[in-house]
Structure 1
Amino acid sequence: MSETHPSPEQAPEETVETVTPDEAATAPAAPEVETDTPEPEPEPAVEPEESAAPAPAPRPAPRPGPRPGPRPGPRPAAPATTGNDADAAPAPVPHHDVAPLPVVDDTAAIATATTFGRVDEDGTVYVRENAGERAVGQFPGVDDEQALSLYIRRYLDLQAKVSLFEARLNQSDLSVREIDSTLAKLREETAEPAAVGDLDALRAGVEKVAADAAQHRERLDQERTVARTAAVEARTAIVERAEALAESDPARVQWKAAGEELRGLLDSWKTAQHDGPRLDRPTEDALWKRFSHARTAFDRARRHYFADLEQRNSEARSVKAAIVEEAEKLSSSTEWGATAADYRDLMARWKAAGRASRKDDDALWARFRAAQDTFFQARDAENAALDTEYEANLAVKEQLLAEAEKLVPVKDLAAAKSALRDIHDRWEEAGKVPRADIQRVEARLRAVETAVRSAEDAEWTRSNPETRARAEGALSQLESAIAGLEADLAAAEQSGDDRKASEARAALDARRAWLEQVSKAAEESR
């Protein structure tokens, strides 16, 4: 198919196609139903018809662009195209991600589109628009209906593209770039198409879809803004946690767990960077710089900590090794008391030395414990032999305790003191007892000694001359006071002064009670 270009006298904006009957015959006359996304149909080859007027240079063909796939259901027969049209034919767009469009009654659509076109006597096809009538092509040698059918099918194809794009816009997640490119292509194809139909309504439909696309873009922009804000917050949380790990007190950090957590934060960063929304370059660079700095600071602190720890472990290992050598030298000592005190001192020095590495600590402690056990086992063996020897002494001392405990309660102080002195002498002659019984038997003897001593103190209190003299002086004073109060009572009763008589009587009763107590104490001290 070739276009018949206008002569210099014709209007430059009009382009008229010339279509031969053979070209029109190559297009299918009846619509067919698609069940799946079809392969693109080959365009029929069309031989150009010779034109009477010399044709100027051909208009540049439109750039190829995407073309939506056929609508589900009946579709119009593919129109015959020119060579330039074939080059510009866009590839079909799969529609598996879009809900099927409703089946359109092509008969009614064709009838409606027909009202916008006419065919001249020479086969020129015109379309009526709001701007006026425009020639869209030439189809000589056929009736008007056949001449219009080719251009009506082109109109229906354009209408299908707009409908398909509208459906995809509402039902699929198109990118902004795809939306813009498709809109640009639709506007280009509907500007002055070689088609017959309600082109003004078609262009209005394109602009309506463009308005919907603008809202879609705005929604995408808002979603991207929200997603980017959330991504910035998530990345910031990763950075802040890494900084918290880097700023932790090295003495309190669990380095293995903290290192694993930091590696997990790095994996989270990579995942967010790969799968999440893109951040603007300054924000991402600033966050990455903080994250990288935190990782570097953490690694530096860890290396310093373990270097210091190694130095402290080395120092502790040297100190403990010296302690172990001393302990091993003391293990054969038979000076039980002094050496036991030395081992207590070595243990205190061991605790103050700090920790070496676990391996060194365990090995040195095993040597220290072995030396200590050697000494104390030898001491315990000798004490056990002595305890066996002292069992007879224990029997003697238990007999002495039974004899001493019969002195309590003390009735004859002099006899008790004499008997206790004899028991002490025999106690010393009996010798040592087993270590486990020392405190028990000595406590029983001390109890008897305490009872005798208490009786002696009580006897001294009763026989003390100073106490007796104080008691006799008190008796004399009380007797004088009682005599004076009796005289006062008699005078008050004689004068009839009841108040003075009552006071004198109360004072007299108190002095008489005191006199009785002092007299009794004086009698006991004689």
Structure 2
Amino acid sequence: MSDASDANQAPAKNTEAHPLDALTGGAFSAPTSGERAARVREWLAGNPAAEQIQEVFKELSVRDKGAARALRERLDELKRAKGQEAIAAEWAEKAQAMLAAPKLNIADAMAWQRDAAKAGAPLSREPLAGLKTQLAERLRTIEDLQHRVQVQREAAVLLSQRIDVLSTKPWRDAATALDTLRNDVAHWQQQAEGLIGDPSWASVEARFPPLLEGSKAQLLVVWDAFQAALALTTAAAEDSNAALPPVPVWADEITVARGGTPLSQQSAQPEAAVAAAPAPRAPRAVDPAQREKAEAAVGEALAKLEKETAEGHGKASAGAAAALRAVLKEHGRHVSDAVEAQVHTALTAAGELEGWSRWRADQLREELVNKAESLIKRPEGQALGGRKMQESLRQLREEWKKTDQTGPANHALWKRFDHACNEAHKVVEAWLDKVKADAAEHRGARLALIEELKAWGAAQAGTSDLKGLQRGLHQFADRWRDAGHLSEKAFAEIMPQWKQAFAAAATPLENAQKESMDRRQALIEEAGVLSAAPQLRIDAVRALQQRWQAEAQAVPLDRRQEQKLWDAFRKPLDEAFQRKGAEREKSQGAVSDHDRAVLQASDALRAANDSGDAQRIRQAMAELDAAIRGQKAAVAAAASAASAPGETAAAPAPAEGEAAATGEAAAEGGETPAAPTPKAPPKPVVAVRRADDRPGGVRAEPAAAGRGGKFGSRDGGRDGGRPGGRGDDRGARPGRFGDAPREERGPRLGDAAFRAQRDALENAQAALRKLAAQAHGEALTQLLTAWEQRDPAQLPNAQAFGGRVTPAVRGAWAQALGNSTPKAAPSEALLRLEMAAEVPTPAEQLSERRMLQLQLLTRRNDPAPVQTWGEDAAKVLAGPSDANSARRLQNALKALLRS
């Protein structure tokens, strides 16, 4: 028993703690997942080693993945930090190598920060932050050197221009400015030597050293030539036997001082006059023709330079300035002082144009920087998407490149611009990552759809539901179309697999469609055979159409192809029916006597409508009605029968064509036709409307009292109380809508006759309405005239007013007009007329009309105004006539006579 009891006891619970439980502060022994996660976070707050975190994650992730999420995040963070350290070390090494090199490539230094940011290097932490600052300072120094080179170049140009200008002035002015020029040239050389001796001179762009050297060489050549010419001029001024200087202006000045003739005037004077001429001391004289020629040449070059300078063309303005200087050297001594001053102003403006170009380029760069920074400062609701952000950044960088081509670089603005673009590019990177993830997801979904299509196609291999198969294929095609975007390369790789699977699934449908097309072609051939037969068999055509319909319902085809086959099938049948209709119309081409009579009556009615005579129109309408009913045909038949003695009278003109044919056949056979068969009595009425309220309709009589209907609301019982029920005498009502018999109609009309009589009657009714309106208007005008003149003789007769005015009413109006001493008519009469006619009352009478309406509500036994309007009109006519009352009476009677 003791052994059994020991065996039945439950095993003891394992209370041994996990080896890592003490390390993590009880994360493994915590009873709930939330407590385990909290203890894990507390343990991670102490920054444990990465090896310990990895070990704890390995053990805890098996038990509780939720609590191990914080461990996984810390491991990912450490991994990223480790990767960033490696990236930082790599980019720090590149930056140190560039700083240590004797020559720093500006493009590489400017691209270092952008490429490092794209690679994920931590530029905000050391050592990359310090290296970034050092590179920026180095770039700033190099850009400053390049800028100073351009300034020195401009200074050399300006010095050369000053020397050129002095060569056109008196030599004493040049001698006075010699010391100042010597100091300026020496200072320029000192600055140029300082630029070349700068430690960063080797890192400037390759185009700047040649610029500085060329400016220096050109300046020194001009300076040396100027000094030598001025020395010769000074010596020639002191010694009359010394050689003249090579500067034309100075040589002419020395020649004049010696008492000779200037070289520019020697060609215009005879040799004897030159030898015998005294030595005048007058200022230099220039030939007007020569001055005009020189100013024309200088003016042309000056205009070109001013145009290029105004348009801001830096390169073109530099070339135009060089051309102007060359022209000035040749013709400078012959132009006036005003033209010379204008030339120097234009050259100075051209020299400043390059500086303006630099300023304008910086302005454009500022705008681009602001645009780039605005991309990352947009509100959340207006943030650009990935694609638009990518396009915007690409456009901004292209514009920056174009700006760099128009002016020197600006590293400070480039730094801001590149930083803003890199920050905005994070949105593009996130979008690209999402696009890649979506592309992978879309590719997987498309591959799964291909496998599903293959399985579905295998399951539908032997199906007979072709419409269901086509519908399923359409659904798969729609799903493939909506499966998401793929790149062109991925789509080109996966598309052949989809086409192969789709073709395999659609094989049963395509085979069935080919067989169906063969069968339909056979039906089309049968249709052609039927249409070509001399006698068209309607039953065969109907059967053929039913076979086509069954085939179309069984096997679906493409809409366009099916429509094309259907058109080919129905074309011969339509042609056959058209031929049959044409033959029928040909056989019925001869108009019957009845139709001819109706057409003649319609023409007579149209002529009466054109005449405008109401009596003639009514007479023509009556004749047309008689023609439609066949009365004219009967009269004509009777007259013809009476005019042929000895012959047997034919039967009356029948209502149908068959009866007429029977009578003619009997007459030709010499037999006396039998009397016409009496018309069958009309069918009894099975149902009739309870209350026929239509014009001319018969109102139902109240049924005898009986048991109620289904809901107790109908009069009478189910059978006995309802007209036409089981208790009624169904044969007692020959008509359809009452006791009146059905109206007799004439023979059936042809299409032309029917349309002609319908149009003629409609036009006649419209003409009668128009004539009636005109007659009422004239009658009212005569009535108002008779009222104004108090002359009953001018009152029209009762027929002129229409059926609404009886002779008694007309007599009352005449009696009222005959009263020679009219009394003031009560205003109530006019108000009652306006109420009867339902026309508006003048504003000043509205309160009286409302009061009268309230009074009429209390007079229950008095007649309504619509019943006494004739008497009310007589009361108005008995009173005096005035414009207001006449207008109100006319409006009221116009509405009453028209209704």
The two structures share one fold, judged by TM-score above 0.5: no
Larger RCO, structure (CA 8 Å, separation 6 or more): 1
Higher strand share goes to which structure?
1
TM-score by length of 1: 0.39
TM-score by length of 2: 0.25
